[in-house]
Structure 1
Amino acid sequence: MMHRRDFLIATAASAGSLAAAPVLAQSDALPKRPIRLIVPFAAGGGVDVFARLLAEKLKEKNGITIVVENRGGANGSIGGSAVRTAEPDGTTLLFSAATHVMARQVMKSPPYDPVTDFTPVARVGEAPMLVVMAPGLPFKTIAEVVADARKTPDKWTFATSALGAPGHLATVAFNKLAGLNLTIAPYRGTAPGLTDVAAGHVQLMIDPVLALLPMARGGNVKALAVTAAKRVALAPEIPTAAESGMPGLEYASWYGVWGPKGMPADLVARLNKACNEAAVELGASGRLAELGIEPVSGTPEAFADFIAKDVKRNTELLKSVNFEPV
């Protein structure tokens, strides 16, 4: 079980610039060539929002050009493939969530090994998730949903942004904890799945708070619970999953930056430092708190170790429910 903490917004540009940082020594400077930051999901979802915030801060601090490019589809592997086949010179990077590292566990024929075919650069944040329901349904708690789903399981379907995403894994855990096998329908990112929940075409979704909370506060979907051990500061009015009737549903999303395999260690170190500094400053400015994200920093080696442990834990979860790759 993951530890605790892992919106649609009009713009991801910074509201105001922080004081300029000292100019880096030349040996620490990033290449001045434009960088493509590929997001393997549709625009408007939680991963996209965070990517654009990070890109803006990296531009501001380092005087470099970063273009965020959305390449959704195939469970995130279209965007991932574009990075895997790029030159390992730091000009093409991947910004994704935990979804990226689970490709081999959820796809029958993944186009790559997400662990060995990429270079971990930096883990930059994590966020709790939110359980939401279609607005036309009368239920108010997870316990009420589970009670009805046990009587009429065919009436209930979960949307998920991608197979292997934190929201998908939390949904698998939901089914397991409830003793249910509700249908899980994968979408090409958060935004299209959330649109179908709001329209009542599917009934439930679990995804990061930053992506779902605006729709919940607008009344377009109903918020049932956060997947955290305690209520989150961004939305203290929303109960925890335990308070809503499902103890043990504690899952977080996390976000990171990868490059192609074979990147020089000194380049990885420079990019890691820049990403760490950007994430910390975004946290200090309050921009991440507004989205329910907590900044994370650490070495590339620590990120690789975190990935190995995360993949092991989630592989065991999928095996426990006899999940079959698709």
Structure 2
Amino acid sequence: MIITRRAALMGLAGSALAPRTSFAQRKIVRLVVPAAAGGAIDVIGRLYAQRIAPALDESWVVENKAGASNTLGATDVARSAPDGTTYLTNADIHIMAKHVMRNVSYDPLTDFTPISRFATSPMVLIGSSKTPQTMPALIADMKARPNEYSFANSALGSMGHLATESFKRRTGTSAELVNYRGTAPAITDVVAAQVQLMVAPLGSALPFISDGKVRAFAIMGAQRSKLLPNVPTAGELGLADFDFTLWYGLWGPKGLPAATVQRVNVTVQAASKDREIVDKLTALGAEAVTEDAASFARFIAAETLRANRVVEEAGIKPGG
């Protein structure tokens, strides 16, 4: 069962007066989402929570704690007891905290227990309708008129941020980075040609691509997307080994018992094979992942090393 925090508290208060019910006996678990409601992290986290909670016979309370490049909610979880009552769902931006924020009270690697990825989603390089029609023509124009181009960026340290900086370095181009608070306002300004380019999540950009409001230049991953089969990968266009793919996962606080990690991981893997979840993720431009906790930990370690290289090469420095 997935419920609101208020309902959970009312249920607990009422259990002292009312007869014991199956709800009153269920453990209340907080799933902290460090982003605004309605975004991809929130939607995917809730989608999985709806399967995990009944499978574990628990009541999961989803709490949105957005702000500071997703660090407010993550801080809450890092400070929580490792007793199986608090979890964090976040995206790849989780491992970037110390690269973009000066004052982060936790270490994204050592202060959390990885449980599993939920899903992955490709990113796509998009441009306003006023940009050249192909990526080679775009790159040539960016070199000829560097002051005419800017990139929208949904958040400091996001996968789009890393992909943008890597794209500029690999192509020998330059363009101003314009930071936004979220993907939606960033894409809105690309549609309006207030900024010219963005590396955007496929699921968020797809409606605007389909309507012809923005151009899709390249999938920024290893494979073409089934949702945009005619859009080549960056590799096909000459950027070898250019793979920036969004991913979403589940963590517990540091010290979460191995038995609890295994128990939750098994339910996540089962959910990732559920046809309804697979279909809903596909509609979001995402793909379910099945992996054990050790595989997720190894994946995070490899992603962190790659992110560190991009940060160093691009000269990204901590902000506020």
TM-score normalized by structure 2? 0.83
Structure 1 residues 198, 102: CA separation in 2 closer, same or farther (over 3 Å shift)?
A: same
**What does residue 66 of structure 1 align with?**
60
Residue pair 1:216, 1:223 contacting (<8 A) in 2 also = yes
**What does residue 132 of structure 1 align with?**
126
**What does residue 13 of structure 1 align with?**
none
**What does residue 45 of structure 1 align with?**
39
Residue type of the partner of 2:308? Answer: T
Unaligned runs of 5+ in 2: 1-24
| 2:143 aligns with one of 150, 153, 158 | 150
Whole-angstrom CA distance in 2 between matches of 1:115 and 1:187: 26
**What does residue 171 of structure 1 align with?**
164
**What does residue 203 of structure 2 align with?**
210
Structure 1 residues 44, 158: CA separation in 2 closer, same or farther (over 3 Å shift)?
A: farther
* Local SS of the residue matching 1:65: strand
Q: Do structure 1's residue 301 and structure 2's residue 314 form an aligned pair?
A: no
**What does residue 98 of structure 2 align with?**
104
Q: Bigger CA drift: 216-225 or 267-276?
A: 216-225
Whole-angstrom CA distance in 1 between matches of 2:115 and 2:315: 32
Residue pair 1:42, 1:188 contacting (<8 A) in 2 also = no
**What does residue 27 of structure 2 align with?**
33
RMSD of aligned Cα (Å) = 2.3
Give 1:283 shift.
7.4
Residue pair 2:278, 2:287 contacting (<8 A) in 1 also = no
Unaligned runs of 5+ in 1: 1-30
Residue pair 1:83, 1:260 contacting (<8 A) in 2 also = yes
Q: Do structure 1's residue 238 and structure 2's residue 231 form an aligned pair?
A: yes
Q: Do structure 1's residue 123 and structure 2's residue 117 form an aligned pair?
A: yes
Residue pair 2:143, 2:174 contacting (<8 A) in 1 also = no
Structure 1 residues 96, 325: CA separation in 2 closer, same or farther (over 3 Å shift)?
A: same
Give 1:143 shift.
1.9
Whole-angstrom CA distance in 2 between matches of 1:221 and 1:79: 33
Give 1:204 shift.
1.5
Structure 1 residues 36, 105: CA separation in 2 closer, same or farther (over 3 Å shift)?
A: same
Highest relative contact order (Cα 8 Å, sep 6+), 1 or 2?
A: 1
Q: Bigger CA drift: 117-126 or 223-232?
A: 223-232
| 2:88 aligns with one of 73, 94, 115 | 94
Give 1:84 shift.
1.6
* Local SS of the residue matching 2:217: strand
Max Rg structure = 2
Residue pair 1:76, 1:162 contacting (<8 A) in 2 also = no
**What does residue 191 of structure 2 align with?**
198
Structure 1 residues 182, 251: CA separation in 2 closer, same or farther (over 3 Å shift)?
A: same
Give 1:185 shift.
2.7
Residue pair 1:36, 1:66 contacting (<8 A) in 2 also = yes
Q: Residue by residue, what CA displacement relative to the aligned partner does 1:145-192 show, whole Å, maximum 9, x if unpaired?
A: 222222222222212222222211111111111112322233322222
Give 1:74 shift.
0.9
Residue type of the partner of 2:70? Answer: G
Residue pair 2:131, 2:138 contacting (<8 A) in 1 also = no
* Local SS of the residue matching 1:163: coil
- What is the aligned-residue identity percentage? 40
**What does residue 78 of structure 2 align with?**
84
Give 1:299 shift.
2.1
Q: Bigger CA drift: 154-163 or 266-275?
A: 154-163
* Local SS of the residue matching 2:31: strand
TM-score normalized by structure 1? 0.82
**What does residue 8 of structure 2 align with?**
none
* Local SS of the residue matching 2:274: helix
Q: Do structure 1's residue 114 and structure 2's residue 127 form an aligned pair?
A: no
* Local SS of the residue matching 2:251: strand
Give 1:293 shift.
2.1
**What does residue 24 of structure 1 align with?**
none
**What does residue 220 of structure 1 align with?**
213
* Local SS of the residue matching 1:34: strand
Structure 1 residues 32, 140: CA separation in 2 closer, same or farther (over 3 Å shift)?
A: farther
Give 1:247 shift.
4.5
Residue pair 2:219, 2:234 contacting (<8 A) in 1 also = yes
**What does residue 184 of structure 1 align with?**
177
Give 1:245 shift.
5.8
Q: Do structure 1's residue 263 and structure 2's residue 256 form an aligned pair?
A: yes
